Amino acid sequence: MIRRCLVVTVLVFAIAAACASCKNIQGTVYRDMANSAYYGDEDLQRALPMYEKAAGYGDPEAQYILGTLYLDGTGVPQNTQQAVSWLEASARQGYAPAERTLGIMYMGGATGVPVDTNKAVSYLTSAARKNDLAATLALGRLYAAFPQVQDFEASARWYATARRINPGIDQRLSDPEYIKTIVVVVHPKQELEGRALVAEVQKKLAQLGYDPGPADGIAGKRTVGAVKKFQKDSGLDRNGKIDMDILFALEKAEREK
C-alpha cells in the first residue's frame, strides 16, 4: 500500500514537471515567432497576440516586452498599471531587463509611478548582480543623488563595478570624493491633491494650448473638457479624470513640446 502511494506521488510530480516543461516550451515557441514578426518583419500587430500567448505561458522575455510596450504605448494603449504587472511577472523570474526597468521606474523614471527608493534599490541590485550595465550605473546614481539612500561609498563601488563591465566608464566615478563634487541631488516631487492638483493641471493645460479656464482649482465643465481633449490628442483613455497620472502626462507632453 505504501509503495503504491509512493508510486502515485512520483507520477503526480512527474506529470506536474512535464506540464511545466510543456508550458515553457510553448512560451518559447510563441516568443520566438513574435520576435521574428516584430524585429524581423517589423509587424508589431502580428507579433502582439503571440507575445500575449508567450507571456501567458510564463515566458519572462515576452512578459518584459509586453510590459515595455504598455509602458511606452507602442502598438497598445499606454497603461502604466498593465506595464508594471507584466514587468513584475518577468522580474519574479529573475529576468534582469525587467528588474532594471522597474528599478528605474521607481527612481522616478515613469509617468504615474511614485518614487520608491527601497523598491528601486531591490530591483536594481538584483539586475546589477547579473552584470546588467544600465542597472549598475543607475545604482551608482541612486546612491549618489537620492537623499533617502545617499551613500557615496556605495555609489563609488557600483560605478567601479560598472567600469569592470565597461572599461569606458569614467574612472573618477570610483572615487566617492569626486562624486561629491559633481552630484546633483534629486528631490522627488510631492504628490498634489484637491484644488492644488486641479490648479496645476489647469496651468499645464493652458501652457499646452488647451482652454481649461482660469487656474482656480475648480474642476468645472471647461476644465474637464480640456482634460478630455488632451487625453484624446495623446491617445489616452478619455475619462476626464484629474489625478497625478494626468499631471505627469501633461508634464511629459510639455517636455516633448
Measured CA distances, 160 to 87, 97, 133, 186, 218 (Å): 28, 21, 11, 22, 51
**Whether 154 contacts 209, CB under 8 Å:** no
Burial class (CB within 10 angstroms; exposed 0-12, middle 13-18, buried 19+) of 58: middle
Q: In this structure, what DSSP letter does residue 205 have?
A: H
Q: Give domain limits for the chain.
A: 16-93, 191-231
Q: At what angle do helices 221-233 and 194-207 cross, to 10 degrees?
A: 60
Mean local confidence (pLDDT), 110-124: 87
| Span of 21-30, 53-62, 108-117, 162-171 with lowest mean pLDDT | 21-30
Range scoring the smallest mean pLDDT among 6-20, 74-88, 95-109, 147-161:
6-20
236, pLDDT greater than 90:
no
**Confidence category of residue 22, pLDDT binned at 50, 70, 90:** low
Distance (Å, whole) CA 89 – CA 102: 11
So what's the pLDDT on residue 17? 43
Tell me 36's DSSP state.
Answer: I
Retrieve residue 17's grid coordinates.
514537471
What confidence score (pLDDT) does residue 15 get? Answer: 41
Q: Long-range contact list for 202-207, CB < 8 A, 24+ apart?
A: 202/226, 204/247, 204/250, 204/251, 204/254, 205/230, 205/250, 207/254
* pLDDT-based confidence at residue 12 (cuts at 50, 70, 90): very low
Q: What are phi and psi of 200, to 5 degrees?
A: -65, -40
Torsion angles phi and psi, residue 222, rounded to 5: -65, -45
Q: How is residue 174 annotated by DSSP?
A: G
Q: pLDDT grade, residue 249 (50/70/90)?
A: confident
Long-range contacts of 222-231 (CB under 8 A, 24+ apart): 223/198, 226/202, 227/201, 230/205
C-alpha 24: how far from chain center? 24
- For residue 216, is pLDDT > 50? yes
pLDDT at 6 over 60: no
Which amino acid belongs to residue 172?
R
Please state, rounded to an integer, the average pLDDT across all residues of the chain: 86
Q: Using 50, 70 and 90 to split pLDDT, how confident is the model at 34?
A: confident
pLDDT digits (tens, 9 = 90+) for 127-147: 999 999 999 999 999 999 988
Q: What homologous superfamily is domain 16-93 in, according to CATH?
A: Tetratricopeptide repeat domain (1.25.40.10)
Q: Return all residues near 69 (Cβ < 8 A) that are at least 6 apart.
A: 44, 48, 51, 75, 76, 83
State the residue for C-alpha cell 484624446: 232
